[in-house]
Structure 1
Amino acid sequence: MFKDVCQETVTPKAQDFFKNSLTGKLSQKDEPYSTFTSEDLQDVIELGLCARIMLIRNIDTTDGLVNGEFGNSVRISPVEEVLHGKNVTRKQLPLRLGWAATIHKVQGMTVKEIVVSLKRTFASGMAYVALSRVSSLKGMHIIDFDPKIIYASEIKRYNYSSRFNGILPPIKIFN
């Protein structure tokens, strides 16, 4: 699917360097250094022209290029982030494909179209946060829907039931 959407693709590989303890100079490693995987700079990233991407590091906060920012990829000249470990340095683009995101990541965003899986909601209000991101009902697509996952917190239910007791009719759920 990725290559159907983005015909022009590139696969930049991380460049890892280690400091030679005898000479003190940096030398490039043949294989990626495994401990950098926890630092979010991946060994290899697949990118394509017009791909949906997300930054995983701050690049220029004054220009809005901040961690978690979404966008579409364009042709660029190489810009490298250098991450220094104990005796190792990694160069890689601080990007990740961003076709999907968690409910927490999209909180506060507004989008024209959204596909939402509600399968793993685990707290009151999560379904609301996910579903209220879209600007129109036409752009909302829900998968894994179960009416039981949409509920208010116990505190909110108590406050509303005591305040509006007998005034509001019960809400009907249609299956």
Structure 2
Amino acid sequence: MTRAVLSLGANLGDRSAALRAATGALRPERVSDVYETPPWGDDDQPTYYNVAMIVSDPAKSPRDWLAAASECERAAGRVRDPARRFGPRVLDVDVIAVWRDSGEPVFCDEPDLTVPHPRAHLRAFVLVPWLSIDAEAAIPGRGRVRDLLRDPGLAADARTLRRLGGLESKHDA
């Protein structure tokens, strides 16, 4: 049923290994280079490694993509701290946007799943990696990623991202 964009980030432990393991489990069609990014929403934590990926599976629904994302987080050892919503994590996998095979975007607003992701349009660490693997990237209901990145605040945030290269490279020491 679907094609989806997922955003992955890690800032604890071996960040590259966590991203590589999730990429292996999710089997993307395309995956961006790794970007080192400052934390978002809670500055008192280490920098993140972020990637974007495009995945496709005619049998998966948006809820299936969420389950696959959650399984990757569990396998990496993620423990959620309700007191620190935007705190550090060994792995975070977000479902950013989903489309049906027909190309029609999927909209979902449930307590545990909102698609398109409600804050993706505010996050350079999502938009820059995504744009690097899809020149026509667009968030349904928000517009083209390249246009969103023209916003002065997002453009400033985008300049703080540091491209490190592909996941096959060793980034963590």
Shorter-chain TM-score tier: under 0.3
Q: Which has the higher contact order (CA 8 A, sep 6+)?
A: 2
For the pair shown, which has the larger CA radius of gyration, 1 or 2?
Answer: 1
Give the TM-score normalised by structure 2.
0.27
Larger % of helix: which?
Answer: 2
